[in-house]
Chain A
């Protein structure tokens, strides 16, 4: 399995506080990975760095077969290169319909002029409707996304991620605030997605992580503490000390 993303030796400091400390991480092209760790372990900052929101003080972030340096790119370029991100809180455009949200996310040329001249083709509509089916929002397409329930917004956001057709999905706490049934649906969506692309899930909920049934990386104080199957890491004494033991 070839490597899709390789992060090596990154560090970042905020006003003297070392949020990420010599962290290295890699993931393959079609792989599911869960990241766990206590609050302040650097999970969100790690995602910020990969998506270009935060610049690390040192280290390298290498992407894809052509080994592109992501640190030289801005957020939108990274997104277009194939990294999609879902935030902790659902961030959909509440003022716009589900359809508009999904159309905006569809993988298309993103320059202002081409967007200005864009007309929805029947292919695009089909694609959106297929996605809506997948995330269970087919009936909600003409509704304003602000009117959706919390879980539906989460799905819509996952749907938007999928519409982007990224090669790597970064998902921050997708199951937060969901009912058990909704969680199951979310798990299914992510597992399905991981068949064709890399998916990184940050999650606190061990049950959810267990259901994902994938390799787990444990972050602590800005570095990787342990890596392996969930059973393997939960047996690790360090992990128990810093995280699970508490």
Chain B
């Protein structure tokens, strides 16, 4: 018989406890509910970071565990943001339009309100009509359902096509990258119905919560993000902890062997790809109301590669590694690009971190890949004294390329 889930996975308990402590700590220190040590914008940054940790978790599932280096998960993240952003923008604009029309001599008709909203939202792209894809924008429930459905369906269709034709490895990575690029380019058009490169804005204003100050909203969103991350972590740990995890790690290491064991590899890949796309979309739906604005540039292929960078730096093939990587890199990145990092005068040249941070990130990423393939998470192995099987220089096995010599999670 198997022991209960949490006892089998003590790291999950530790993680959830740390996450709870972090959330409570930030709440106490926040401007909205606490002693005003952490500014509202910092709370937002932390909340956004939690969302990034969640998508990193999804990336770790799909790449670290299943071996599919998807360079397209940020597309799902962005789509999730767009779906929730449509409701936020529509409802808020509606409130504004209704307000302004209330002054008119005649009470407004539904048509006039729709026209007003259309002009307000789509004036920047030279339109006044509300495109058909906004048909559910007035319903929060429907848009929340779309957060899951649209990226889920896209991932399912794309995954079905790609996996069915047995595209693997680097080819699959390039294909996912192409998918992201196609989506971003599509959204960049003005007639895509999502305001082209203007994107959706004003998302930090939550309709129906006008009276709640941003300082409090930011804490609510932090809680929501932390909850989502916690649930996501437990879900991911549950997925990878059992036989399913065994199978997907098997797929990562030797796809053909799993196939000959009688598992339909494509279904498993498709399942993981779709589930992680949905997790990514949920993370995006929580992220963008905190960021306040979303535009197609967020979904450019490079964003998804950064995602891979976070997971690699944190240590793939272990869930907490992904979370650490995303949290660490994005916070450090905020610190460097925010201008807080001190410049380094070299006499003939002053190194401004705003300019040089990306260079540092790029090079440190090369170094991590070369010298510390286990990433930051590898440090925990040193503490716990975990030793990987020593093969005395033998071949890495049939799955060369997908499996580093010691990539084990436990």
Touch between chains A and B, by CB atoms below 8 Å: yes
**B257 nearest in chain A by CB position:** A91
Cross-chain contact of B249 among A89, A95, A105, A113 (Cβ < 8 A): A95
Is the pair A100, B260 in contact by a Cβ cutoff of 8 Å?
Answer: no
**B269 nearest in chain A by CB position:** A112
Is the pair A85, B260 in contact by a Cβ cutoff of 8 Å?
Answer: yes
CB within 8 Å for A76 and B259 given contacts A95-B403, A146-B389 = yes
Is the pair A89, B260 in contact by a Cβ cutoff of 8 Å?
Answer: no
The reply on A182 being an interface residue by CB < 8 A is no
Which of A7-15, A120-128, A198-206, A234-242 lies at the binding interface? A120-128
A164: B residues at CB distance < 8 A = 261-262
**A122 nearest in chain B by CB position:** B1
Residues of A in contact, count (CB < 8 Å) = 38
CB within 8 Å for A104 and B398 given contacts A116-B239, A119-B2 = no
Is the pair B262, A79 in contact by a Cβ cutoff of 8 Å?
Answer: yes
Is the pair A87, B1 in contact by a Cβ cutoff of 8 Å?
Answer: no
Is the pair B250, A93 in contact by a Cβ cutoff of 8 Å?
Answer: yes
The reply on A51 being an interface residue by CB < 8 A is yes
CB within 8 Å for A93 and B262 given contacts A118-B243, A119-B242, A147-B389 = no
A122: B residues at CB distance < 8 A = 1
CB within 8 Å for A112 and B244 given contacts A51-B260, A80-B262 = yes
Residues in A102-153 with C-beta less than 8 Å from chain B = 103-105, 110-113, 115-116, 118-122, 125, 144, 146-147
How many A-B pairs have beta carbons closer than 8 Å: the answer is 92
Is the pair A115, B403 in contact by a Cβ cutoff of 8 Å?
Answer: no
Residues of B in contact, count (CB < 8 Å) = 31
Please report the C-alpha to C-alpha distance between residue A100 and residue B267 in the assembled complex, in whole angstroms: 20
The reply on A221 being an interface residue by CB < 8 A is no
Q: A185-223, CB under 8 A of B: which get 1 and which 0?
A: 000000000000000000000000000000000000000
**B390 nearest in chain A by CB position:** A147
**A76 nearest in chain B by CB position:** B264
The reply on B60 being an interface residue by CB < 8 A is no
Please report the C-alpha to C-alpha distance between residue A32 and residue B336 in the assembled complex, in whole angstroms: 69
Cross-chain contact of B257 among A87, A103, A116 (Cβ < 8 A): A87
Is the pair B398, A116 in contact by a Cβ cutoff of 8 Å?
Answer: no
Q: B66-90, CB under 8 A of A: which get 1 and which 0?
A: 0000000000000000000000000
Is the pair A79, B259 in contact by a Cβ cutoff of 8 Å?
Answer: yes
Please report the C-alpha to C-alpha distance between residue A66 and residue B268 in the assembled complex, in whole angstroms: 29
Please report the C-alpha to C-alpha distance between residue A32 and residue B250 in the assembled complex, in whole angstroms: 30
Please report the C-alpha to C-alpha distance between residue A111 and residue B247 in the assembled complex, in whole angstroms: 11
Please report the C-alpha to C-alpha distance between residue A147 and residue B264 in the assembled complex, in whole angstroms: 28
The reply on B265 being an interface residue by CB < 8 A is yes
Is the pair B260, A79 in contact by a Cβ cutoff of 8 Å?
Answer: yes
Shortest C-beta distance, A94 to chain B (Å), equals 6
The reply on A56 being an interface residue by CB < 8 A is no
Shortest C-beta distance, A142 to chain B (Å), equals 11
The reply on A84 being an interface residue by CB < 8 A is yes
B271: A residues at CB distance < 8 A = 112-113
Shortest C-beta distance, B351 to chain A (Å), equals 42
CB within 8 Å for A93 and B254 given contacts A76-B264, A104-B247 = yes
CB within 8 Å for A116 and B261 given contacts A93-B249, A93-B253 = no
Q: Which residues of B contact A (CB under 8 A)?
A: 1-2, 239, 242-244, 246-247, 249-250, 253-254, 256-257, 259-265, 267-268, 271, 389, 391, 397-398, 403, 407-408
Known contacts A74-B259, A91-B254, A96-B250, then 14 further A-B pairs from the complex at CB < 8 Å, ordered by chain A residue = A74-B264, A76-B260, A77-B264, A79-B261, A93-B257, A95-B407, A112-B267, A116-B239, A120-B243, A121-B1, A122-B1, A125-B1, A146-B391, A160-B261
**Minimum-distance CB pairs A-B, first 7:** A79-B262, A146-B389, A80-B262, A75-B259, A112-B271, A76-B264, A147-B389
Q: List 24 A-B contacts (CB under 8 A).
A: A74-B264, A75-B256, A79-B259, A85-B260, A91-B257, A91-B398, A93-B246, A93-B249, A93-B250, A93-B254, A95-B253, A95-B403, A95-B408, A96-B249, A100-B243, A100-B246, A104-B243, A110-B263, A110-B264, A115-B242, A115-B263, A118-B242, A122-B1, A146-B389
